[in-house]
């Protein structure tokens, strides 16, 4: 088992693994788990931990030459000893860092720093800020895509709707990534869904009717949104996922994929995802 770090802001608590720099648990004020973590998750290489919030860098999906979703989720991160100041009022945060390894240089020959700050706001919001810096000494720029692959815990996937994605174009990974346009006023789930919504608004709302709770996801510098549920057939095919677990999870995460980021040496990029759990009486206003 790899080292974990926990932080607590009175009641809300977070658990983060150094393996993958991955948040695996986030409990709200009432002690309820907000994130899905598979009972069959593996916590050691070469598999990423199935659940929580995976950091996908420098590649999302198989849109490139690297391993699926990039290598960051399969590496052992370190505690960041010189973290930047949090950009929230919270003094409750964990700071991690990942740098290139000799092994990764063979497939992605770049020197970088990926800093991840995981913070709990005073009212219990979960805020992830990633800062990626090009440290190449040879003057070369690099390009990457990125995502917070976020596994929410839901009570019954057939009762969940995602708002804020209506009329947007998306790449449908189930149909060779063809570009489609969302026709519904919300995304609902009756079968496998594997999409990248493009240029989404900064606020996306996931409503879990049965559990009477809503996740409001806000994002910066991350225009796209991953939406994924494997449904029954794919669930059975995944060794680190329970056959019935697709019913109680949904991935909705902020991403940057259609327009990759290019950084020159010395340049830094920041991407932020903030999730607020709000009571069911909340109106999304979307």
61 binds ligand BG6 (CB under 6 A): yes
Among 107, 153, 146, residue whose Cα is nearest residue 128? 146
Which of 4, 68, 111, 155 touches ligand BG6 (CB under 6 A)?
Answer: 68
Separation between Cα atoms, residue 222 and residue 146, nearest integer Å: 8
Q: Which is nearer to ligand BG6, 231 or 282 (CB)?
A: 231
53 binds ligand BG6 (CB under 6 A): no
At 247, list the tokens: 């019913």
Residue 81 makes CB contacts below 8 A (sequence gap 6+) with none
Q: Nearest distance from residue 29's CB to ligand BG6, in Å?
A: 30
* Site size with ligand BG6, rule: CB under 6 A: 8
Separation between Cα atoms, residue 189 and residue 186, nearest integer Å: 10
Per-residue contact flags (x/-) with ligand BG6 for residues 223 to 252, judged by CB under 6 A: ---x-x------------------------
Q: List C-alpha distances in Å: 10 to 85, 121, 255.
A: 21, 11, 30
Residue 174 makes CB contacts below 8 A (sequence gap 6+) with 192, 193, 194
Q: Nearest distance from residue 168's CB to ligand BG6, in Å?
A: 16
Which of 80, 95, 182, 194 touches ligand BG6 (CB under 6 A)?
Answer: 194
Q: Nearest distance from residue 76's CB to ligand BG6, in Å?
A: 18
Q: Nearest distance from residue 89's CB to ligand BG6, in Å?
A: 32
Q: How many CA atoms lie within 13 A of 164 on its CB side?
A: 28
69 binds ligand BG6 (CB under 6 A): yes
- If one counts every other C-beta atom within 10 angstroms of the C-beta of residue 100, the result is 18
Q: Nearest distance from residue 69's CB to ligand BG6, in Å?
A: 5
Q: Which residues bind ligand BG6 (CB under 6 A)?
A: 48, 61, 68-69, 173, 194, 226, 228
């Amino acid at each position: 088992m790899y080292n974990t770090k926990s932080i607590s802001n009175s009641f809300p608590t977070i658990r983060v693994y150094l393996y993958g720099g991955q948040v695996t648990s986030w409990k709200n004020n009432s002690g309820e788990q907000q994130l899905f973590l598979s009972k069959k998750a593996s916590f050691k290489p070469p598999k990423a931990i199935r659940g929580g919030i995976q950091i996908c860098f420098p590649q999302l999906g198989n849109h490139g030459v690297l391993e699926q979703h990039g290598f960051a989720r399969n590496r052992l991160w370190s505690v960041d000893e010189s973290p930047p100041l949090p950009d929230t009022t919270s003094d409750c945060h964990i700071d991690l860092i990942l740098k290139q390894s000799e092994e990764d240089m063979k497939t992605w020959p770049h020197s970088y720093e990926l800093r991840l700050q995981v913070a709990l706001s005073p009212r219990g919001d979960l805020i992830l800020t990633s800062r990626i810096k090009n440290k190449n000494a040879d003057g070369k720029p690099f390009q990457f895509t990125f995502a917070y692959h976020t596994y929410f815990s839901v009570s019954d996937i057939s009762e969940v709707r995602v708002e804020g994605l209506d009329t947007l174009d998306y790449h449908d990974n189930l149909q060779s990534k063809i570009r489609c346009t969302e026709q519904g006023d919300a995304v609902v789930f009756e079968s496998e869904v594997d999409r990248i919504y493009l240029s989404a608004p900064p606020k996306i709302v996931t409503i879990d009717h049965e559990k009477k709770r809503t996740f409001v996801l806000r994002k910066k510098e991350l225009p796209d949104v991953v939406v994924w549920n494997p449904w029954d057939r794919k669930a059975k095919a995944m060794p680190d996922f329970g056959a019935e677990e697709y019913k109680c999870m949904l991935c909705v995460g902020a991403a940057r994929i259609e327009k990759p980021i290019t950084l020159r040496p010395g340049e830094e990029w920041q991407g932020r995802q903030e999730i607020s759990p709000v009571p069911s009486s909340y109106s999304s206003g979307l």
